[in-house]
Structure 1
């Protein structure tokens, strides 16, 4: 089973793709929209990544989910399982290839700070960025179990970094990058 797409060198078009997609989706969130952020590896200049644009949407609350889901379907998105209470997930594939992932979190959700902190750490620390890139490429090369295996093997590295940079309640671990 393959990954959702192949890791490739950083593409300076990724921020432009985020901006374009951000414009397309913004109307589906109405008055509940607080803000959006480009997250994930495509948001980190110089980092090789699966060319899947990750977007974090912060909302005041989850209002009228039926209308939002319908709007997102018109843009080619499928609603995945909730990743946790208050953390909704959408994915968009084109011709069987994942192109976009959207995380919709209620303001104050723990994953917001976690996703932004991880992105910012990768942006500012070249050593961490290189280590993470090397890990991703190694996991891709050795992958036999698909995206679930890939994510499960990245999780300990991400969790260790985040435990050093964020205060996480004892005994609680989470994964930033999840695909459903």
Structure 2
């Protein structure tokens, strides 16, 4: 079983793909849209990544979710399982390959600060960025069970790093 896509060298087009998608999805969130961020590995210059654009959408509240879901569907998105209370998830696949993931969180949700801090750490610290890249490539090479296995094995590294950052 494979990952949702193959890890690739950093592509300088990824920020442009984020900007394009940010514009496409904005009207689906209406007045509750507060801000939109490029997160995940494609948001970190120089980092190898699955070429899946991760987008964090911060909203004031979740309003008219049915209409939002219909709008997102017109853009090719499928609503996934909520990742936690007030943390909604959408994914977009093209020809069976994941291209985008959207995390929609209500302002103040703990995942917002966590995702932004992790992205910023990877951008700022070359040593951490290299360690994380090495881990990702090793997990991809040894992966047998697909994306769930990959994510489960990345989580301890991310959790330990974030816990260390909280202590500082």
* TM score, norm. by length of structure 2: 0.98
The count of residues paired between Structure 1 and Structure 2 equals 167
Match of 1:49 in 2: 49
Q: Secondary structure at the match of 1:36?
A: strand
Q: Deviation at 1:166?
A: 3.0
Deviations 1:28-77 (A, max 9, x none): 00000000000000000000000000000000000010110000000000
* Conserved? CA contact 1:33–1:59, under 8 Å: yes
CA distance in 2, matches of 1:75, 1:8: 25
Match of 1:101 in 2: 101
CA distance in 1, matches of 2:157, 2:53: 21
CA distance in 1, matches of 2:35, 2:155: 26
Deviations 1:79-135 (A, max 9, x none): 001000000000000000000000000000000000000000000000000000000
Q: What is the alpha-carbon root mean square deviation over aligned residues?
A: 0.6
* Conserved? CA contact 1:42–1:51, under 8 Å: yes
CA distance in 2, matches of 1:26, 1:138: 36
* Conserved? CA contact 1:91–1:101, under 8 Å: yes
Match of 1:174 in 2: none
Instruction: Pick the structure with more helix per residue.
Output: 2
For structure 2, list consecutive stretches of 5 or more residues without a partner in the other structure. none
Q: Deviation at 1:164?
A: 1.2
What does 1:25-174 correspond to in 2, within 5 Å? Answer: 25-166=25-166
CA distance in 2, matches of 1:108, 1:8: 33
* Conserved? CA contact 1:114–1:166, under 8 Å: no
CA distance in 2, matches of 1:2, 1:29: 33
CA distance in 2, matches of 1:65, 1:118: 28
Q: Deviation at 1:165?
A: 1.5
For structure 1, list consecutive stretches of 5 or more residues without a partner in the other structure. 168-180
CA distance in 1, matches of 2:29, 2:74: 14
- After TM superposition, which residue ranges in structure 1, 4 or more long, deviate above 2 angstroms? none
